[in-house]
Amino acid sequence: MIRKATVRDVEAIHRLLKQHAERGELLPRALSDLYDDVRDFNVFEPKGGVAIAGACALHVCWEDLAEIRSLAVSEPHQGEGVGSTLVKAALAEAEVLGIKRVFTLTYQPDFFSKHGFKVVDKAALPQKVWAECVKCVKFPDCDEIAMLKRLTAG
């Protein structure tokens, strides 16, 4: 089941993201940042499960731009379409909000290509986006791939 995250989910989201960050699959997120951004997250809760097994955030950056970030699925549920379902939920929410463009910074470009994202130069993303990048441990040597999808919203 995909649902909006609540504050009760934040520690489980943090553990899930930390596992993937330790393997270099995504960037780490501070627990305090996750509480700040809890409304951005959808989570996957398996039937009969008591633990969060997937998470994905849609972060609105500007009037026509949002970012999909912190997409992670626990190992037992990988390959079941959970990641795709979370991305589709985020894109549907972006449409409802009237967002015209959604981007991601990723180490998994093939996955996002299947969802209609295209590789773009990081310089194509507005300064508003880069305001967050300066806080990143990898700044200015970012090795993530920037990808963008145009929506029909608005």
Return the percentage of the chain with pLDDT > 70, whole number: 86
Tens of pLDDT, residue by residue over 77-95, are 999 999 999 999 999 999 9
DSSP E strands, 39-85:
41-44, 54-62, 65-73
Range(s) of the domain holding residue 71: 2-150
Q: Which two tokens mark 135?
A: 């806080």
Whole-model pTM: value is 0.89
Confidence band for 20, pLDDT divided at 50, 70 and 90: very high
pLDDT single digits (tens) 124-134: 886 555 666 55
Domain count, the chain: 1
Tell me the CA end-to-end span of the chain in Å, nearest whole number: 28
Other CB atoms within 10 A of residue 152 CB? 6
How far apart CA 142 and CA 150 sit, in angstroms, is: 23
Distance from C-alpha of 104 to C-alpha of 140, rounded to nearest angstrom: 17
The domain that contains 97 carries what CATH number? 3.40.630.30
